[in-house]
Chain A
Amino acid sequence: MTQLFAFPTECPDDALLARWESLLGKAPRLSSWLDETLRGRRAELSQEFAGVEVERVLWTEMSRWLNDFEALPSFAVSAIATTIAEQREPLAIKLEKPIEITIDSPETALTELEALAADPAFALAHHCVEARIRPHLHPLLPESAWFGLLHASAQANPQLSAATAVGLVLRVSSRSWQAQPSEVRRAAMRLFQATAADLKTSESFRAGGQKSSENFAAAGQKSSENFGAAGQKSSDTFGRLCAVLSVDRTRLSELVAAGQRLRKASSEAATLCAGLVARLLKRPGGLSLLGQDGDAKASDAEVAELREHARRQTRMTGYGRLLRLI
């Protein structure tokens, strides 16, 4: 399986990065473990440190792990990665099937993904997802769930555009989510679409129904006398949806807030994609479809961010071609 995996930013040493890439090349299984571990550590560290500092600490830890892994043969590294992954705490969301890509032929899937990733248009959309969406992923749901929910929230468009290219990256990155039972996906989608007003109605009811009529009006209904029944119903509905997903109910507000941030981030990713295309003098292949006249050009800082990200993406050949066009 090709990993859509990104290292932490602010790498202090190019040699360290090269050693990790070499190790992951020999033991690809390790990358999914590393990805998940980094996300968990990043969430923990962000409670104590600022963003740049978090990335530095992550690199320090990765440096230590690397020495340990390099001392072992590659087959042992893969075996250890699998064992560690199996011993991890269960995800906050209940998944009836393990997170695996369930496609008829793994070889076909790999070939498709590699061919797609070889296109600079897809590489650009991937960068925009990494730069604008990934930083907002919340550990409460697996990465593929967030990507799948964002993909399902986007308006279907029959033509290839910056937004649909970003949507396609999200879709390809959420194959394991698509394999989840419909009941689980729908419950997650309803929670993802829930508004702050929905949450307030439910929470006010749980807190005793005080100060409720304003919140209820914000949720779309004005009659405070109906609040009691609706508040209870809303609270019960949230409870049932959380039960389907095995999400801790006390963390609902985090989930709803994360969903709102991600929807905004998804729109920003599409804007960035169109803006970067506007900076290209030549737009071969699919790139010609991603931009429109009048798109605001990306800033120099955004171009520099793309260059930096592309430099670290050695597995997706589309990045190399993209860099030559910038």
Chain B
Amino acid sequence: MVTLDTATTWTRILSVTAGASCAAGAPGPGTRIRGTPARELSQGPWLGLVDFHGLRRAEQKILEAWLRRIEPLLLVRHLLLAKPLADDIFIELTPQALEAMPEGFRDAPRPILILAPAGRSRPERRREYLDALLGLSLPLASAGSELWAIREFDPDFVIALAQLSDPVARAAFRASLDPAHKHLFDAQLPVAEVALIDDLTGGRDEESAVAMDLDALSSLHPQAHPLSVFAAVERAHNRRRSEKEKTQFSARTLEARLSARGFPEPLRECTPEFAAAAGDFLPAELQRLFEASELLGQT
């Protein structure tokens, strides 16, 4: 049992149902790219690794029970879960995932989405993901960093909702609310839970500058996996961001930074051939897309 601050949790529930995200980062199977969910641009379900590192034991326990309950809701969103990651990083599918996975799922490289608690893990944790996944000799992980990425979730909110899925905890929380909000709480809680599950899988991702480049580059390289395209776009955007604004959601970005191969990265001017093939873009958009396209071709 984790003590919930009623006012804080209630604010967060309302903010999420009003549209604030509670998970963000790399695309998930539900993220729309060129108007189509990413799952339809890649074959088969994605593998989800929920990282418990940085969560307290009581929180882990609550989250584990909740994940068992909502796992079918993630399955229908094309995300198969492995057992949660703790200190050691390894891949072991859950019993529900083993039952639901398509034939041959474990015999080929699959997109892997690591769901990590925002603000809880150490920066070195990302290196640990990379080292461990690169060291695994499983066919599932054999595509290398090209098909792995991270999506961060708000751990306090997820744990609060997980706890509120218990009828006793829910009744106690409801009793502590302002009477005027009780009816609203009854209506908003299921909405918040659906929003959370959609956010974990990218179903509520919104328009952004990165998303627009993702669409554009995916149109130029329709055969490339959405996570590979995202890796290239993220790196092209990072080149234009201040150090504080840079993101490291793609494993390819992490790999480039950790190996120092990416610094300094040689920049090439957009070629007239690319400009002619790309279509209707402004100069700055074109140069960014050209760089991303070059990065997409690199291993």
Q: Which residues of A contact B (CB under 8 A)?
A: 108, 111-113, 115-116, 119, 121-122, 151-153, 155-160, 164-165, 167-168, 171-172, 182, 185-186, 189-190, 193-195, 197-198, 201-202, 216, 219-223, 226, 229-230, 233-234, 236-238, 240, 284-286, 288-289
Which residues of chain B come closer than 8 Å to A195, judged between CB atoms? Answer: 284
Asked if A158 and B181 make an inter-chain contact with CB atoms under 8 angstroms apart, the answer reads: no
Asked if A158 and B153 make an inter-chain contact with CB atoms under 8 angstroms apart, the answer reads: yes
How far, in whole Å, are A230 and B184 apart by their CA atoms in the complex? 55
How far, in whole Å, are A51 and B165 apart by their CA atoms in the complex? 53
Min Cβ gap A105→B in Å is 11
For A168, the closest partner residue in chain B by CB is B20
Identify which of B19, B208, B280 contacts A168 (C-beta below 8 A): B19
Which residues of chain A come closer than 8 Å to B281, judged between CB atoms? Answer: 233, 237
Interface residues of B in 264-286 (CB under 8 A from A): 269-270, 272, 275, 280-286
Which residues of chain B come closer than 8 Å to A121, judged between CB atoms? Answer: 11
Asked if A288 and B8 make an inter-chain contact with CB atoms under 8 angstroms apart, the answer reads: yes
Asked if A189 and B282 make an inter-chain contact with CB atoms under 8 angstroms apart, the answer reads: no
How far, in whole Å, are A34 and B283 apart by their CA atoms in the complex? 40
Interface residues of B in 222-274 (CB under 8 A from A): 245, 247, 269-270, 272
Asked if B284 and A172 make an inter-chain contact with CB atoms under 8 angstroms apart, the answer reads: no
Q: Mark B7-19, 1 if CB is under 8 A from A, else 0.
A: 1101110110111
Which residues of chain A come closer than 8 Å to B10, judged between CB atoms? Answer: 285
B206 adjacent to chain A (CB < 8 Å)? yes
Asked if A223 and B284 make an inter-chain contact with CB atoms under 8 angstroms apart, the answer reads: no
Identify which of B23, B152, B282 contacts A190 (C-beta below 8 A): B282
How far, in whole Å, are A230 and B283 apart by their CA atoms in the complex? 7
How far, in whole Å, are A190 and B8 apart by their CA atoms in the complex? 36
A-B contact pairs, 21 of them (CB 8 A): A113-B18, A116-B15, A119-B11, A152-B209, A157-B24, A158-B22, A158-B23, A159-B119, A159-B156, A172-B19, A190-B212, A190-B282, A198-B282, A220-B270, A220-B286, A229-B275, A230-B286, A233-B275, A233-B281, A236-B280, A285-B10
Which residues of chain A come closer than 8 Å to B284, judged between CB atoms? Answer: 194-195, 197-198, 219-220
Which interface residue of B5, B14, B153, B184 has the most chain A CB atoms within 10 A? B14
Q: A201-B283, A286-B12 are known contacts. Are A115 and B245 too (CB-CB below 8 A)?
A: no
Identify which of B24, B157, B212, B286 contacts A156 (C-beta below 8 A): B24
Asked if B14 and A157 make an inter-chain contact with CB atoms under 8 angstroms apart, the answer reads: no
Min Cβ gap B235→A in Å is 16
How far, in whole Å, are A220 and B271 apart by their CA atoms in the complex? 12
Which residues of chain B come closer than 8 Å to A151, judged between CB atoms? Answer: 206
Which residues of chain B come closer than 8 Å to A190, judged between CB atoms? Answer: 212, 282, 285
B103 adjacent to chain A (CB < 8 Å)? no
B88 adjacent to chain A (CB < 8 Å)? no
Interface residues of B in 176-203 (CB under 8 A from A): 181, 184, 187-188, 199
Asked if B245 and A155 make an inter-chain contact with CB atoms under 8 angstroms apart, the answer reads: yes
B118 adjacent to chain A (CB < 8 Å)? yes
Seed contacts A116-B14, A165-B15; 16 additional CB < 8 Å A-B pairs: A112-B14, A112-B188, A152-B207, A155-B208, A157-B21, A158-B154, A160-B11, A182-B35, A185-B207, A202-B282, A221-B269, A221-B287, A234-B282, A285-B10, A285-B11, A289-B11
Q: A116-B14, A168-B15 are known contacts. Are A237 and B280 too (CB-CB below 8 A)?
A: yes
Nearest 8 CB-CB pairings of A with B:
A285-B7, A286-B11, A220-B287, A156-B24, A219-B283, A198-B282, A158-B154, A159-B154
Min Cβ gap A323→B in Å is 17
Q: A115-B181, A189-B207 are known contacts. Are A234 and B269 too (CB-CB below 8 A)?
A: no
For A222, the closest partner residue in chain B by CB is B269
Asked if A186 and B212 make an inter-chain contact with CB atoms under 8 angstroms apart, the answer reads: yes
Q: A111-B184, A171-B18, A234-B283 are known contacts. Are A189 and B212 too (CB-CB below 8 A)?
A: yes
Which residues of chain B come closer than 8 Å to A202, judged between CB atoms? Answer: 282
Asked if B19 and A284 make an inter-chain contact with CB atoms under 8 angstroms apart, the answer reads: no
Which residues of chain A come closer than 8 Å to B286, judged between CB atoms? Answer: 220, 230
Asked if A286 and B287 make an inter-chain contact with CB atoms under 8 angstroms apart, the answer reads: no
How far, in whole Å, are A121 and B20 apart by their CA atoms in the complex? 14
For B12, the closest partner residue in chain A by CB is A160
For B9, the closest partner residue in chain A by CB is A285
Asked if B283 and A197 make an inter-chain contact with CB atoms under 8 angstroms apart, the answer reads: yes
Which residues of chain B come closer than 8 Å to A193, judged between CB atoms? Answer: 209, 285
